[in-house]
Amino acid sequence: MTRLVFERGGQCIAELDASPGDALIDVARFHDVPLHWRCGQGTCGTCAVRLQHAAQPQQVQVGRKERNVLLRAGLCSASAAASEQWPDAPETVRLACHLYVGEVPWHISLPDD
């Protein structure tokens, strides 16, 4: 199991365990974490989060669909949207519906309401 800590505004709002390979959005929904989402399929951009974990910094592969949604939502630059490799860093915005729990604990920052 992997420990996930959900935060909003620096305050812990949920701390729970998930299995590696679980979709982050499904974990949040199952445990009633107040993560906003509409579609759950990566097209609306409302489940934007930031991650912190011990394996950072590194490069990660980000799919075209996620990049385009984040670009339309104004959450990434055009140059970032054109690149398949992104920095996996705390300031990088990702979509919870495109993230799958790994082996290392995560701190997930939710946007302020």
Q: How confident is the model at residue 100, as a pLDDT? A: 95
User: In terms of DSSP H, where are the helices of the chain?
Assistant: 24-30, 64-72, 78-81
Query: Minimal CA–CA distance to 51: which of 85, 95, 20, 21?
Result: 95
- Cα 1 from Cα 21, distance rounded (Å): 10
Q: How confident is the model at residue 43, as a pLDDT? A: 79
Q: How confident is the model at residue 112, as a pLDDT? A: 82
User: For residue 7, with 0-12 CB atoms within 10 Å meaning exposed, 13-18 middle and 19 or more buried, which class applies?
Assistant: middle
Q: How confident is the model at residue 40, as a pLDDT? A: 65
Q: How confident is the model at residue 96, as a pLDDT? A: 95
Q: How confident is the model at residue 113, as a pLDDT? A: 65
Q: Which CATH number is 2-110 given?
A: 3.10.20.30
**Mean pLDDT, contiguous 10-residue spans, the chain (113 residues):** 96 96 95 85 86 93 95 94 95 95 96 78
Residue spans of the domains in the chain: they are 2-110
